[in-house]
Chains A and B, each alone.
Chain A
Amino acid sequence: AQTVTQSQPEMSVQEAETVTLSCTYDTSESDYYLFWYKQPPSRQMILVIRQEAYKQQNATENRFSVNFQKAAKSFSLKISDSQLGDAAMYFCAYRSANNAGNMLTFGGGTRLMVKP
């Protein structure tokens, strides 16, 4: 079974600075998808970014980008120009391409605090 590990329970960043959240995963498969979800205090789960394992290029969505290292099974999220609204729990998630049910495996989460 796949496992997803987020080794940083909490992180903090100064407003306007850059922060990187770590995620590692364990899988024997070669084709899969990785996701970062944001959960603000409202509790709503919001998709931040998606990466297909077959793509070498790192995904980018505005201020959010990933560093996908397939051989190292690492999938970190970089937030540039941090804003107060970025304060939230962030979850890394894995989906096998062979997963008929589209099921996700989540990491335990990282709480990001943004200091003004």
Chain B
Amino acid sequence: DAGITQSPRHKVTETGTPVTLRCHQTENHRYMYWYRQDPGHGLRLIHYSYGVKDTDKGEVSDGYSVSRSKTEDFLLTLESATSSQTSVYFCAISPISGGYEQYFGPGTRLTVT
């Protein structure tokens, strides 16, 4: 299994509070991604990173920001959480070459009350 961890695994927070989710990899892969999973929508890309300090927006980036100061860490921040951001969040990594598949972390269940 690819070495990807996410923290926290579960979080309940109140509307309006800031939240940061962390993704950590031990594979030294260049690409990292944040997705959210909601019923009926599959996984939708929030933001991704193609290197240290290099990030770009995905399909559903509004209300989210990211940072990557080290190869191994990719942070997702909800500046002011809303109930619509209640979801399961997955981090994924991908090497620069090879089969191009993505490897996923275990997910974080976030509930915004």
Contact = CB atoms under 8 A, between A and B. Distances in A.
Interface of A: 4, 6, 9, 33, 35, 37, 42-45, 47, 50, 91, 95, 100-104, 106-109
| Consensus secondary structure, chain B interface | strand
Nearest to B106: A44
Interface of B: 31, 33, 40-45, 48, 50, 56, 58, 88, 90, 92, 94, 99-104, 106-107
| Consensus secondary structure, chain A interface | loop
B42 A50 contact: no
B42 A108 contact: yes
B45 A103 contact: yes
B56 A101 contact: yes
A95 B41 CA distance: 17
A100 to B, nearest CB: 7
A103 B60 CA distance: 13
A35 B44 CA distance: 15
Q: Which 9 A-B pairs have the closest CB atoms?
A: A106-B42, A45-B104, A102-B94, A106-B43, A108-B42, A43-B107, A102-B31, A47-B101, A109-B42
